[in-house]
Amino acid sequence: MDDQQLNTASNSEAKVVVKNLHKVFGNKPELAMQMLNDGKHKDEVLKQTGQVVGVLDASFEINKGEIFVLMGLSGSGKSTLIRLLNRLIEPTAGSVIVDGEDVAQMSTEKLLNLRRKDMSMVFQSFALLPHRSVIENAAFGLEIAGVDVKEREKRAMQVLEQVGLHTFAKHMPSQLSGGMQQRVGLARALTVNPSLMLMDEAFSALDPLRRTEMQDVLMKLQQEQKRTIVFVSHDLDEALRIGNRICIMEGGRVVQVGTSDDILQRPADEYVKAFFNGVDTNKYLTAKDVAQKEQVTIFERPDDPAAGFSAALERMRMYDRVYAFVLDDQHKVLGAVSAESLMACVNKRGKKLRDALLPGISAIPGSMPLNQVLQKVVEYPCPLPVVDDNGEYIGAITKTVLLRKLCKETKA
Amino acid sequence: MSYKIPIGEWVAAGVKWLETNDHGLLDKLGSVIQTATGAIENGLMLIPFWLLALVFVAIGYWRLGWKFALFCAASFLLIDNMGFANQTVVTLALIISATLISLALGIPLGIWAGRNDRAEAIIRPILDFMQTMPAFVYLIPAAMFFGLGRVPGVIATVIFAMPPVVRLTSLGIRQVNKEQVEAGIAFGCTPTQLLFKVQIPSAMANLFAGINQTIMMALSMVIIASMVGAGGLGNDVLSSISRLDIGLGFESGLGVVLLAIMLDRITESFGVKRAAKS
């Protein structure tokens, strides 16, 4: 191991360390690299040499067990970058260190072994083999690795069960819907039991409902066994929903890496800001424009302030919410409760509903401009309750709702 | 502009040189083909004509249903009735020989061309040449090299019938979904595994279309090949032309057509089923 490798291994939590990674498409990559090293812009390189710079000096670390989302518009190099990680595309320069070993310098034999045993991939178009049944597709990785039929189909069956497709094992892929096909794609990737999974726009071809469903499947699998997942997406909602950290790319460059809060609060540049904020629509949109009545509300009964714990818990469970707002009989927001805070008070003598309120939660006026709302949404653990001029509850704003609204405004 | 590039002279000289300097290589090749095709023909001749008909009827029923089985039965009865039973078997044997050789050479070439741009660039013009150069032009030298009979007929047929299977195999390999190929590589396929587990299975529909086309081309060529003594239905076609016997010409031609339809539909059915599956 050389010095550089020791240095990059400084973060013991890092599963993947990408350092100064470049990809130049064309027949004279050395020339292009020379020009880039001399500080020339990639547009200049294209103009003078005809070489296309796909990924430009990418450096970042991916932690063990996290979902790392590569985000950017089409042409930003995110799909190229993910393919450099398993060398579906050969890097021009730089290193991709996975568990201390540089994939970019690896021998063919070692690379094959890594792909077979520890690193798998899920594709946007599912890329199932049409002439094979579901179970044969799911067992594909093990078949390539030379595992015998009985063993590999047993393992494939277990994974198909995990993704809820075991009853379709003998079907052909063409007989399944898109969502189910991608479950097979996911099963194929999971069957080899990899510690690192690459997912290239894995859910982008699905309709929004199926997409959310698949995200849930992925999150559940992630709870059962923590894997490191690199997830390419152009969907902001998706990135915020499943990503532990997000890497924003533009024109082959990594612009910013951080948690969604980091990026929301401290966008690195105008591009990132534009990605999240839209074109300053937040200047004229206000809180009441985006507030939605999707949250559970609980009324405090003036005659019996200790009642309502069980009903509140039941309704939160029913609507699958972690938080609920407590209103008085005038529809004024008293605060928010969580399932946890309710549980702490339930069946305890002398506890009132008010005792379960979370500290520091207050409603915001509906007239608050969105750029201020953005700040608040990031700070709040729960959705942000919004009240009208009379102080009455009109709805709540979640991170997802807010960002979706902003995205729509940007597109319009 | 009086200078003419002596292309013809060069080729003639080349052929002459080959004839005297091949150290018996062509003779050996010829005798191998002679033996192999002879074995196929003799084998088919051993089967009674009615049994051969039954095989076609059975396959027709299996692949395409009872209507086509009925058509096969009627065709064989008509061929037998017109007195072309033996000739049909000879023609069929020639087709089988030429097709087997074409596939044995053409499929690997097609795979190579499908996976390698440079190979494709070299092979394509050669295929154009093979398909469009008038058959008589190479039929005569073939007869010079191998003598009259089956061998030059089969060789000329292979030259004419091989291009479709090469082209369609190459096309099939190239048309495999890019992400399917990437998936193969991402899961650790070696190039050989990628070929046999991803590319060829996905290219099957095209490959079968190529095989079908090759068989049809072979059928049309073995008729012409009778000019160098290949035998079969072509002999009857040829003698009817030379005698201006319109009736015999039509009858023997009809035999060719019926055989063509049966072979086409049956081989096509294998490709279609595969295409429907994927």
Query: Which pLDDT does position A95 carry in this prediction?
Result: 94
Query: Which pLDDT does position A93 carry in this prediction?
Result: 93
Closest CA to A200 of A6, A386, A70, A14: A70
CB-based contact B111:B169 (threshold 8 Å): yes
Edge-first strand listing for the sheet containing A67-71: A119-122, A196-200, A228-233, A67-71, A245-250, A253-258
Query: Which pLDDT does position A410 carry in this prediction?
Result: 57
Q: Which range, A300-314, B184-198, B230-244, has the best average confidence (pLDDT)? A: B184-198
CB-based contact B120:B114 (threshold 8 Å): yes
Whether the per-residue pLDDT at B80 is higher than 70: the answer is yes
Considering only A160-164, A211-215, A244-248, B113-117, which range has the smallest mean pLDDT?
A211-215
Averaged pLDDT for residues B198-202: 93
Whether the per-residue pLDDT at B278 is higher than 70: the answer is no
The values of phi and psi at residue A155, to 5°, are -65, -40
**% of chain A surpassing 90 pLDDT:** 39
Query: Which pLDDT does position B185 carry in this prediction?
Result: 95
For residue A365, list its beta bridge partners. Answer: A387
Considering only A266-275, B219-228, B254-263, which range has the smallest mean pLDDT?
A266-275
Cα separation of A246 and A261, whole Å?
A: 10
Higher pLDDT, A12 or A295: A295
Whether the per-residue pLDDT at A8 is higher than 60: the answer is no
Cα separation of B53 and B72, whole Å?
A: 7
Cα separation of B22 and B12, whole Å?
A: 15
Under 8 Å CB pairs connecting chains A and B tally to 72
pTM: 0.71
User: Between A86, A120, A127, which is nearest B179 by CB?
Assistant: A127
Residue type, A144: I
Considering only A163-172, A200-209, A338-347, B165-174, which range has the smallest mean pLDDT?
A338-347
Query: Which pLDDT does position B29 carry in this prediction?
Result: 87
Q: Which range, A99-108, A393-402, B17-26, B220-229, has the best average confidence (pLDDT)? A: A99-108
Higher pLDDT, B164 or B15: B164
Whether the per-residue pLDDT at B116 is higher than 80: the answer is yes
Query: Which pLDDT does position A6 carry in this prediction?
Result: 42
By C-alpha distance, the chain A residue nearest B186 is A115
Cα separation of A148 and A133, whole Å?
A: 17
DSSP state for residue A105 in the 8-state scheme: G
B277 and A174: CB-CB below 8 Å? yes
pLDDT tens digit string along A84-123?
Answer: 999 999 999 999 999 999 999 999 999 999 999 999 999 9
Spell A342-365 as b/e; 16+ CB within 10 A means b: beebeeeeebebeebbbeebebbe
Does ipTM exceed 0.95? Answer: no
Which helix H or strand E contains B259, and what residues bound it?
helix B246-277
Using CA of residue A83, residue A89, residue A94, residue A97, what is the dihedral sign?
positive
**% of chain A surpassing 70 pLDDT:** 92
pLDDT grade, residue B1 (50/70/90)? low
Angle CA B37–B43–B44, to nearest 5:
95
pLDDT tens digit string along A56-77?
Answer: 999 999 999 999 999 988 788 9
Whether the per-residue pLDDT at A134 is higher than 70: the answer is yes
Rg (C-alpha) for chain A, rounded Å, is 25
For residue A384, list its beta bridge partners. Answer: A397
pLDDT grade, residue A11 (50/70/90)? low
pLDDT grade, residue B113 (50/70/90)? very high
Averaged pLDDT for residues A9-25: 82
Whether the per-residue pLDDT at A348 is higher than 80: the answer is no
Closest-CA distance, B187 to chain A, in angstroms, reads 5
Closest CA to A189 of B198, B183, B192: B183
User: Between B182, B197, B202, which is nearest A88 by CB?
Assistant: B182
Cβ neighbours of A198 in B, within 8 Å: 186
Cα separation of A367 and A378, whole Å?
A: 18
User: Between B177, B185, B190, which is nearest A125 by CB?
Assistant: B177
pLDDT grade, residue A341 (50/70/90)? confident
Query: Which pLDDT does position A142 carry in this prediction?
Result: 94
Higher pLDDT, A36 or A375: A36
Query: Which pLDDT does position A280 carry in this prediction?
Result: 45
DSSP A321-358: -SEEEEE-TT-BEEEEEEHHHHHHHTT-TT--GGGGPP
Closest-CA distance, A167 to chain B, in angstroms, reads 20
A113 by Cβ neighbours in 10 Å (0-12 / 13-18 / 19+) ranks as middle
Q: Is A205 on the interface with B (CB under 8 A)?
A: no
Exposure on the CB side of residue A14, measured as CA atoms within 13 A: 21
Q: Is A149 on the interface with B (CB under 8 A)?
A: no
Cα separation of A238 and A233, whole Å?
A: 7
Whether the per-residue pLDDT at A291 is higher than 50: the answer is yes
Cβ neighbours of A114 in B, within 8 Å: 188
A131 and B179: CB-CB below 8 Å? no
Cβ neighbours of A127 in B, within 8 Å: 177, 179-180, 182-183
Q: Which of B177, B185, B187, B200 is best to mutate for the A interface (most A CBs within 10 A)? A: B187
Q: Is A112 on the interface with B (CB under 8 A)?
A: yes
Whether the per-residue pLDDT at A194 is higher than 80: the answer is yes
Identify the residue whose tokens are 């894995």. A202
Averaged pLDDT for residues B94-108: 94
Closest CA to B34 of B140, B149, B157, B159: B149
Averaged pLDDT for residues B139-148: 84
Whether the per-residue pLDDT at B265 is higher than 60: the answer is yes
The values of phi and psi at residue A320, to 5°, are 60, 45
Mean model confidence pLDDT for chain B: 90
The values of phi and psi at residue A323, to 5°, are -120, 155
Identify the residue whose tokens are 């013009």. B125
For residue B224, list its beta bridge partners. Answer: none
Rg (C-alpha) for chain B, rounded Å, is 21
Q: Is A125 on the interface with B (CB under 8 A)?
A: yes
Cα separation of B175 and B100, whole Å?
A: 25
Q: Please tell me chain B's helix, strand, coil percentages from 3-state DSSP, rounded to the nearest 5.
A: 90, 0, 10
Whether the per-residue pLDDT at B70 is higher than 90: the answer is yes
User: Between A113, A127, A140, which is nearest B177 by CB?
Assistant: A127
Cβ neighbours of B188 in A, within 8 Å: 112-117, 141, 144-145
Q: How far apart are the first and last CA of chain A?
A: 53
Distant-in-sequence, close-in-space partners of A110: CB < 8 Å, separation ≥ 6 = A101
Strands A52-63 and A14-25: antiparallel
Q: Is A172 on the interface with B (CB under 8 A)?
A: yes
Neighbour count for residue B22 (Cβ, 10 Å) = 13
Closest CA to A92 of A15, A40, A17, A32: A32
B187 and A130: CB-CB below 8 Å? no
Query: Which pLDDT does position A327 carry in this prediction?
Result: 84
H helices of A77-147, where? 78-85, 108-117, 134-138, 140-144
Tally the residues of chain B: 278
CB-based contact A236:A407 (threshold 8 Å): yes
By C-alpha distance, the chain A residue nearest B193 is A144
pLDDT tens digit string along A231-261?
Answer: 999 877 788 888 889 999 988 999 999 887 7
B201 and A188: CB-CB below 8 Å? no
Averaged pLDDT for residues B53-66: 93
Strands A253-258 and A245-250: antiparallel
Whether the per-residue pLDDT at A128 is higher than 60: the answer is yes
Q: Is A358 on the interface with B (CB under 8 A)?
A: no
Query: Which pLDDT does position A350 carry in this prediction?
Result: 73
Mean model confidence pLDDT for chain A: 84
Cβ neighbours of B202 in A, within 8 Å: 129-131
